[in-house]
Structure 1
């Protein structure tokens, strides 16, 4: 959760870019740096940490649940015999863990999207949530409790793509690096493989992420929602903003996901080795 303090501004920048210029081909921001400069100039430097409480709650719910489910399923699969899980097994475990974590974390994710995007709205339309709990209470009271899970399916879809892509690309990159003979199975190899994995995962998951972000931030005016679901958002982005707009916010997203992927896999590798050493199993399954 401590990492959230460092990546929160990146989340805000990414969300502002994804929510900008809806339905327009012209870009509101030239780059991630342009977003930061305009936010600091017009809203103040502390605005970069809008939604911090929601970001912390998301980590406490989504990340904790995901890693807990992954570790539990992985341990049960390996069992006392220490059998080696196949690549498909690891992907299935990762996808399941991601889906469960995403469902649990959707309310915090919804609050985060709205709190980080609030400053981009006209003053009269801003929601003005003071913290994540204020957001959750007001959303429940004003829009109904089910609204807390608005965008749940794309959130789960993104989590499944992220987990599958992370595992697939990390495993493949690590094996390629080891086969090359330039790196041994250690932290250096894990670091390089993780950065490659983070880049591929960012590219694969961003189209789902922008759909999720816009769906969770949309307003219902006079009983009519701004969008008619995920497919409607996808088609409008393609038609009105162009194909590459699906990757709006790529730089801050990768800047956030890259280090997170590195820390996740280095930690999992070390925990994996320590666990099987403790169990007295010589053959350690490769992540």
Structure 2
């Protein structure tokens, strides 16, 4: 990600893809416990008045992390890490690697001056939608594994691992089932990618115009936090719908899931898990962008010397 007048990548597409995939995977490993907590909170149903058995099991980000660790062990917080890394290699590499070329396509190769924010948003939405269309199966398996909590004694787990999940879904539900929730996932990832990449690009560009600021770790930190905040505020409702559709196959469509969630749990349900979501996306963006900027410098030096 650059903030110069032409906003062109200074390394090859392959270098950008590899840097993006590595940075996204590193951020995923660091923050997936918060993502697991977010998924559990989003899938949790609203309590029924007078029914003690329906009282929510998970309460808050730290409470959810603590409950999962206590009941299922610390390793349960990293459920879905394997498909999560599969996802980041594909999705993270494509959405960021394609951002600069697509932005140049929308502005024109002869564009001079700052790229309009609208073009940045359009480019980021496009790359997010394309990338998640390819990576949807990995997202589905990740959510399915994260959604499974502690089971009663003698009850077998739905899937023994990520590879078993892929094969079981294809065998039991068909190949098309791997793209369950693609609609809300495209909406969610297109919107969140637009919020993340466009806001990071814009915030970084703005900060670099302030006297005293340079293209360093402090600038990357502020821009990463801004990217995470905008992403959660804008993308939380579609993220909840996506998680519910992937975690529960009874929903007929995106609209059906939206209507039932609104009817049964109320409008605030669309911001369930907001704090862990921001904790996760905020920290994820900071880690990812800081790692990405340093990794791209390293890759650039390798390409320059070759």
**TM-score, length basis structure 1:** 0.81
Q: Deviations over 1:242-285 (max 9, x none)?
A: 222211112222222113323454566678999999xxxxxxxx
The one of 47, 54, 58 equivalent to 2:87 is 58
Matching of residues 78-89 of structure 1 within 5 Å: 83-84=112-113, 85-89=115-119
Gaps of 5+ in 1: 220-225, 278-287
1:86-140, Cα deviation, whole Å (9 max, x unpaired): 3222222211111111101100000001000011677798753122221111100
Q: 1:217 aligns with which of 244, 247, 251?
A: 247
**C-alpha separation between the residues in 2 aligned to 1:69 and 1:30?**
39
Match of 2:21 in 1: none
Give the drift of 1:42. 1.7
Written as runs of structure 1 = structure 2, the 5 A alignment for 1:1-287 is 1-21=25-45, 27-74=56-103, 83-84=112-113, 85-119=115-149, 127-174=157-204, 177=207, 181=211, 183-184=213-214, 186-219=216-249, 226-266=250-290
Task: State the 1:186 CA deviation.
Answer: 3.9
Distance 1:170 1:145 in 2: 36
Any stretches of 5+ residues in structure 2 without a counterpart?
1-24, 50-54, 302-306
Number of residues of Structure 1 aligned to a counterpart in Structure 2: 273
What is the CA RMSD across the aligned residues, in angstroms?
Answer: 3.4
Closer, same or farther: CA 126–149 of 1 in aligned 2, 3 Å:
farther
Q: Separation in 2 of the partners of 1:50 and 1:273?
A: 32
Deviation larger for 50-59 or 124-133: 124-133
Pick which of 196-205 and 105-114 moved more.
196-205
Contact 1:118 1:126 in 2 (8 A): no
**Alpha-carbon offset, residue 41 of structure 1:** 2.1
Name 1:285's counterpart in structure 2: none
Against the structure 1 CA distance between its residues 199 and 274, is the aligned structure 2 distance closer, same or farther, given a 3 Å change threshold?
same
